[in-house]
Copies of this chain bind each other. A is one copy, B any other.
Amino acid sequence: MLVGIGPGSVDHMTQRARDAIAESDVVIGYVTYIKLVADLIEGKEIIRKSMTEELDRAVSALEAARQGKKVALISSGDAGVYGMAGPTYEVLFQAGWTPDDAVQVEIIPGASALNSCAALVGAPLTHDFCAISLSDLLTPWPTIARRLDAVALADFVVALYNPKSGRRTRQIVEAQRLFLRHRRADTPVAIVKSGYRRRQNIVFTTLDQMAEADIGMLSTVLIGNSNTFIRHGLMVTPRGYANKYDMADGGTTREGEKAGRSLSTGLLGWLQQVKLEHAEGADVAELARRHRLPQDYIQSVLDEPDELPETEVATEEDAA
């Protein structure tokens, strides 16, 4: 059982995670995570591993399971997000394991650091977001740098995992440099250290000050998008209601917009607009510039036959 224990406070573990630990004969994990669940593991066989021994943890888990023991392999946050789920399957496949094996695998999801940290600072992840690890222990720097560059430009909210360690101090400086090419210097940033743990510490700063902040191995860095703001000590990314509703006017729908329907600048409205601009003489290169999208994408939507008017399908509708 690959158990995501959430941020570390037992209150924020799921029932299934608690049950999995209770059912297990052996608990395996990084020493710090073992400490976080100390109250739940009395009388069990405990295998403590250091930070860099992920593959060893998976190998130990497989060995114990092959002996018929029930094993809980614990990860902080979610076992699937930079957690033990990946290395465990890599080790299992290498060992010739298949799902028909006597050893059965269950992954137990939990709130990852980005979920917990977001809950503590306000509502920063209300719109599209990314997680990027700044650790270059397994990932070449150009891959990380290309990702930072791409999402800074495309205006995602970004959670940086493993932002800094004793040895890795310059990655956060480079991340800042890449972001400042596309984002305002005063873009809000939250740095959450040990969220929901005893030494919890939250700092709000801005993109241009971020690299000077106190950041360590137990920190997650949240960088807002171009609409994110900090008010009264809360970091909030608007979902976009103001695109459709007049918030100051009791939430009445703006002219040209309909509740429960796509925005007038949604896909179909936008397609009509692009075709109109094209008919009025704008060529594909000009349209690509105006709409900041690739030329061949613009060309391909122009090549599609005209969309029928929005049909009145009576069906479950999506959020907002």
Q: Which A residues lie at the B interface, using CB under 8 A?
A: 4, 6-7, 10-16, 18-19, 51-52, 54-56, 59, 78-83, 85-90, 93-94, 98-99, 107-112, 115-116, 118-120, 122-133, 135-147, 149-151, 153-156, 162, 165-168, 170-171, 174, 177-178, 181, 217, 231-234, 236-241, 243-245, 247-248, 251, 259-263, 265-271, 291-294, 296-297, 300-301, 307, 310-311, 313-320
Contact = CB atoms under 8 A, between A and B. Distances in A.
Contacts of A268: 170
Copies of this chain present: 2
Contacts of A171: 267
18 contacts: A11-B15, A12-B16, A52-B260, A80-B115, A81-B118, A81-B125, A86-B123, A86-B239, A89-B122, A90-B241, A136-B267, A137-B260, A138-B241, A141-B267, A167-B313, A174-B301, A181-B296, A217-B318
Given A165-B315, A307-B170, A133 B128 contact: yes
A154 B150 contact: yes
Contacts of A138: 239-241, 243-244, 263, 320
Given A85-B123, A241-B138, A320-B138, A15 B13 contact: yes
Contact of A319 (B126, B129, B135, B239): B135
A14 B4 contact: no
Contact of A263 (B90, B137, B317, B319): B137
Nearest to A163: B318
Nearest to A97: B232
B267 A297 contact: no
A166 B315 contact: yes
Contacts of A99: 232-234
Given A138-B239, A138-B243, A262-B136, A115 B119 contact: no
A142 B292 contact: yes
Given A15-B15, A86-B239, A125-B81, A109 B297 contact: no
Contacts of A167: 261-262, 310-311, 313, 315, 317
A136 to B, nearest CB: 3
Given A98-B232, A109-B111, A174-B267, A139 B243 contact: yes
Contacts of A311: 167
A12 B318 contact: no
A142 B142 CA distance: 27
B165 A119 contact: no
Contacts of A15: 10-15, 18
